Amino acid sequence: MTYRSPVTDIRFILDHVVPLAPVAATELFAEATPDMVEAILTEGGKLCDEVIAPTNREGDLTPAKLENGVVRSPAGFKEAFAALAEGGWIGIAADPEHGGMGLPQALNVGFNDMLSGANLSLQLSPLLTQGQIEALEHHASDEIKALYLPKLISGEWSGTMNLTEPGAGSDVGALKTKAVPNDDGTYAISGQKIFITWGDNDCVENTCHLVLARLPDAAPGTKGISLFMVPKLIPDADGKPGVANSLKVVSLEHKLGIHGSPTCVMSYEGATGWLVGEENKGMAAMFTMMNNARLNVGAQGIGVAEAAYQQALAYAKDRVQFAPIVEHADVRRMLACMKAEIFAARSIALACGVAIDMGRATGDANWQARAALLTPIAKAYGTDMGIRVASTGVQVHGGMGFIEETGAAQYLRDVRITTIYEGTNGIQAMDLVGRKMMDEGKAAFRLLQEIEDEAQGARGDFPVLAEDVWQAAEELREHTEWMVSRGMQDRFAGAVPYLDAFARVLGGYYHLRAAMAEGRDSARGHLAAVYIRRLMPAYAASLAEAKEGAEGLYALSVEDLEA
Ligand SMILES: Cc1cc2nc3c(=O)[nH]c(=O)nc-3n(C[C@H](O)[C@H](O)[C@H](O)COP(=O)(O)OP(=O)(O)OC[C@H]3O[C@@H](n4cnc5c(N)ncnc54)[C@H](O)[C@@H]3O)c2cc1C
C-alpha cells in the first residue's frame, strides 16, 4: 500500500476552513502567497511519499540500536533524513536570519502531519529540533543563537529535549539533575535523564541537548529549574564539533511502537552546559519548546491516522466477503467515520497554527489567547483520534489487521505513545480547564460566539447541520460557564471529557464551514453530515460526564477499587 500525503485536504482547509489568507496579509508572512503554499505542500508531499514513507516499515522491523555507545538508526533513515535537511524542511518556520524559511507555523503543522503519516519515528527527530530552534530563538544569548541555530536549521546537527527523570515525569519540578557553575561561565551538568527521544543518532554530526537542571540552593519545584544547552561534541573555536562532552547514552528502551526512534537513557557526568535564558527561569524557556512540540504531536496523531485510513480503504476495496467489504454498511461506517474524524482534527490543528501565526504577526492578545486555548485541544484530540482511527483501521482488516505483515498494526502501536508524551492528554485537559481558563473563559466564549454566529448564518443552506452545531456550541457555552465557577478539583475531574466535547463541537464547526464552501451535495457536504450527525453528538455524553465533578470519583475509595 502506497502512502499519499493529504496535500489536497490541507490546502482546502487553509483556503476555506481556517483561512491562511489573513496570515499571508501580514508583513511578517507576506511570502506565504498561494503559489508558495502550493509549492511547499506539493513538494513536501512528494518528499514524504517518495523518499520518507518507503523507510517506515524498515524502522519497525529493524529498530535503532546502540553500538559501542553510538546509536545506529535503521536502514534508510540516514538518507531520508539527509533529504529532509537538504530540502530545508527542518527550518520551515525558523527565522530567516539564521537560515530558516520564515514561513507560517500553520504550514509547518501541515508538513509535520504529512511527514508523520510517512514515518512517525523519523519525524520525531526534526520535530524536536524544531522545538529547540524556537526555544533558542526566544531565550538564548546571541552567541548561542549564532553558533547553534544555523546548524540546527540546516540539519547538520539535531536537537533533543531532556526533562524526564525516573522520579520526575508529569511532575517536572521533582527533577534532580544538578548544574554547578564553573569558573568560566559554563556549568557542570550531572544526572540521569530517561526516555530521551533521538538522544543520539548517526544522521547528524552533533546532537544538542536542551537539559533542565537545578542550580545549587535553587528553590524546590519548578521555580528552581534552569535550562542548559549541552552538546554531545563541544564546538571548537571555528564552531566545528570538537571534543566529546561528558555525557553518554546508557541504553535504549524496548518499546510498543516507534521502533525506529531511539529512546535513550542519558547520563550526564559533569558535562559542560551553557545557560539558556535566565537562571531559575528554565521552565518558561522549555515551555516555548513544549508548546511547539505539543501542537506538532497533535499533527503526529493526525498523520498516522491518515496513513492507517488510506491502508484500510485500499484493503476494503480489495477484500471480498460476499461482496467487496467496502460495500457493507458497517465497513462503510468505519471508513466514513475515520475520514470525518481526521478532517476535524486536522482543521483544529491548522486553526491552532493560524492562531499562533496571527498572534506572532500582529501581537494581538486575542489571537495569542486563541492559540493558547487551542494547543491542548489540538494535541489531545489529534492523538486520541489517531489511536481511535488506527484501531478502526485494524478492525477494517479483520484478522489480517492483527497480523504484523499487513502493517495496519504498526500504525496502532506507533501512534499509541502520542497521547502520553509531551504531557499526557490528562495533563493537556487540566491545562485547558486550568491555566487556559484563568481569563474566566473569555477566550473560549469568544470562540463559541464565532461558532454560533457562523452556524446562525448557515441555517438557510444547512438547516439541520447548522442547527446541530449551534445547539452544541450553546450547550458547551453553558457548561463552560458552570465550569469556570467551580473549584479546580471539580474542573480537573471533568477535564478530559470537557476537552473531548470542545473538540467535537469545533470539529462540527469546521466541517460545517467545509460544507458551506462546497455545497450540500458535495463530498465534503456528505462528510460534514457524517461528522455532525454521527460523531459530534458524543459531546453531550462527554459534557454529562464532565459535569459530575470530583465527589463521586472520591466516594469510591482506593479500598473500593481494590475490592
Ligand atoms: C517513547 C517515549 C519518548 C519520550 N520522549 C521524551 C523526550 O524526548 N524528552 C523527555 O523529557 N521526555 C520524554 N518522554 C517522557 C514523557 O514525556 C513522559 O513519559 C510523560 O510526560 C509522562 O510522564 P511519566 O511517564 O512519568 O508518567 P507519570 O507522570 O507517572 O503519569 C502516570 C499517569 O498519571 C497521570 N498523572 C500524573 N500526574 C497527574 C496529575 N497531577 N493530575 C492528574 N493526572 C496525573 C498521567 O496523566 C498518567 O496517566 C518520552 C516517553 C516515551 C515513552
Q: CB of 65 within 8 A of CB of 260?
A: no
What is the 421 CA–ligand 1 centroid distance (Å)? 6
Average pLDDT, integer, range 4-8:
98
**Distance (Å, rounded) from C-alpha 233 to C-alpha 24?**
40
Percent of the chain's residues with pLDDT above 70: 100
Protein residue whose Cα sits closest to atom 12 of ligand 1: 164
**Under 8 Å CB-to-CB from 508, ≥6 apart: which residues?**
344, 465, 468, 469, 472, 531, 532, 536
> What is the mean pLDDT of the segment spanning 540-558?
96
Determine the pLDDT at residue 455: 98
For the CA of 169, the nearest atom of ligand 1: 26
Residue 418: per-residue pLDDT? 98
67 is catalytic: no
Best residue among 125, 170, 171 to mutate for probing ligand 1, ranked by most atoms within 8 Å of CB: 170
pLDDT band at 177 (very low <50, low <70, confident <90, very high): very high
Q: Which atom of ligand 1 is nearest to the CA of 425?
A: 47
Query: Can you name the residues that pair with 339 across neighbouring β-strands?
Result: none
Residue closest via CA to ligand 1's atom 32 equals 170
Euclidean distance between CA atoms 480 and 328, whole angstroms? 40
Task: Estimate to the nearest angstrom the gap between the alpha carbon of 73 and the chain centroid.
Answer: 23
Give the pLDDT of residue 289: 78
**Which ligand 1 atom is nearest residue 255's CA?**
1
**Protein residue closest via CA to atom 50 of ligand 1:** 195
* Position 292 confidence tier, pLDDT thresholds 50, 70, 90: confident
Measure 195 CA to ligand 1 centroid, in angstroms.
9
Atom of ligand 1 lying closest to residue 253 CA:
1
Q: What is the mean pLDDT of residues 327-350?
A: 98
Pocket test for ligand 1, best of 120, 158, 195 (most atoms within 8 A of CB): 195
Residues with CB under 6 A from ligand 1: 161-164, 169-170, 195-197, 255, 263, 417, 420-421, 423-424, 426-427
| CA of 198, closest atom in ligand 1 | 8
Q: Cα of 425 to ligand 1 centre, how many Å? A: 10
Q: Atom 51 (ligand 1): residue with closest C-alpha?
A: 195
Q: How far is the CA of 462 from the centre of ligand 1 (A)?
A: 43
Residue ID of nearest Cα to ligand 1 atom 19: 421
* Cα gap 44→52, rounded to integer Å: 10
What per-residue confidence (pLDDT) applies to 287?
82
Distance in Å, CA 427 to ligand 1 centroid? 9
CA-nearest residue, atom 16 of ligand 1:
421
Average pLDDT over residues 219-238: 96
Say how many Å lie between the CA of residue 424 and the centre of ligand 1: 6
Average pLDDT over residues 209-219: 97
Residue 445 pLDDT > 80, yes or no? yes
Which residue lies with its CA nearest to atom 24 of ligand 1? 169
CA distances to 50, 60, 416 from 401, rounded to whole Å, are 25, 16, 16
Q: Please give the model's pTM, rounded to 2 decimal places.
A: 0.98
Catalytic residue among 137, 165, 341, 422: 422
Q: Which atom of ligand 1 is nearest to the CA of 162?
A: 11
User: What is the band of 1 on the pLDDT scale with cuts at 50, 70, 90?
Assistant: low
Residues 6 or more apart in contact with residue 171 via CB below 8 angstroms: none
What is the Å distance from ligand 1's center to 431 Cα?
15
What is the rounded CA–CA span in Å between residue 155 and residue 102? 16
From residue 473, alpha-carbon distances to 20, 66, 159, 496, 537 in Å are 24, 51, 41, 18, 11
pLDDT bin (cut points 50, 70, 90) of residue 285 is confident
| Distance between Cα 183 and ligand 1 center (Å) | 35
Region 353-373: mean pLDDT is 97
Alpha carbon distance 463, 100 (integer Å): 46
